[in-house]
């Protein structure tokens, strides 16, 4: 069974640009969560989607957005990039429709903003 796939794995952008990250969950999983990981802040929750609906959102500015498609694949977008957006962005899928807990993480997309 294939794991969670995230693309691209690495990317470099400049301030003011925008970026789109993609996540394909484990086959059959309908819940997708996104996290930002930085050395200083640890794992910070961005948002969670289930059946194309955002069920919860973290405390991030509106520049951070996401969506989920009917095949459960998800994308997140960051507009007007800032230096502080440099981080590892992790996507995780879950096989349950209930409260989140047992997450399977992808390898992440490492974003560097210059």
**Which residues would be at the binding site for another protein (CB under 8 A)?**
31, 33, 35, 41-43, 45, 48, 50, 55-56, 58, 90, 98-108
Q: How far is the CB of 3 from another protein (least distance, A)?
A: 10
Partner residues linked to 46 by β-bridges: none
Q: For residues 36 and 105, is the Cβ–Cβ distance under 8 A?
A: no
Residue with Cβ nearer another protein (8 or 16): 8
Residue spans of alpha helices (H) in the chain: none
Q: What angle do CA 78, 30, 37 make, to 5 degrees?
A: 40
Q: How far is the CB of 33 from another protein (least distance, A)?
A: 7
Residue with Cβ nearer another protein (62 or 102): 102
For residues 19 and 94, give the distance between their C-alpha atoms in angstroms, rounded to a whole number.
25
Residue with Cβ nearer another protein (22 or 105): 105
Residue with Cβ nearer another protein (62 or 98): 98
Q: For residues 93 and 29, is the Cβ–Cβ distance under 8 A?
A: yes
For residues 72 and 80, give the distance between their C-alpha atoms in angstroms, rounded to a whole number.
26
């Amino acid at each position: 069974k294939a794991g969670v796939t995230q693309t691209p794995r690495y990317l470099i952008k400049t301030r003011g640009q925008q970026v789109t990250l993609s996540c394909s969950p484990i086959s059959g999983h309908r819940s997708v969560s996104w996290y930002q990981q930085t050395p200083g802040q640890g794992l910070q929750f961005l948002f969670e989607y289930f059946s194309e609906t955002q069920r919860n959102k973290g405390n991030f500015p509106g520049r951070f957005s996401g969506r989920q498609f009917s095949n459960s694949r998800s994308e997140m977008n960051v507009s007007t990039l800032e230096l502080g957006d440099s981080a590892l962005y992790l996507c995780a899928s879950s096989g349950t429709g209930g409260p989140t807990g047992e997450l399977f993480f992808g390898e992440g997309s490492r974003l560097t903003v210059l």
